Amino acid sequence: MAERPKFFDDLAGVAGGAMSALVGLREEAESLVRSRLDEAIRKLDLIKRDEFEAVQEMAALARAGQEAAEARLANVIERLEKLEARTPIIMPAAASEGGGPGMIA
């Protein structure tokens, strides 16, 4: 069996080391680009999609709550108007002319 010359072993070692170095450089470059992009986004006051969706959901819930409150208020106003139409308003004694309780229909 013929032995491989030491040159090929050295060449394989150098190639392996170069590949490891390239992988490390690639990861470092990706990290650097990612951090620069994040910094640029912060400077532009941009937000991430998940933050936008969370705020959008909060706005939808607030809108639904406001619509429900408006519906309840309309119902209360309607009930109050019905009560006012059925019941006469009694004036306090001090406000009436004769000293007794007065009624306004």
pLDDT (tens digit, 9 = 90+) per residue, 45-58? 878 899 999 999 99
What does the pLDDT average to over 33-51?
88
**Mean confidence (pLDDT) of the chain:** 82
Whether the CB-CB separation of 48 and 34 falls below 8 Å is answered with: no
d(CA 52, CA 55): 5
Closest CA to 68 of 76, 78, 80: 76
Q: What is the pTM of this model?
A: 0.41
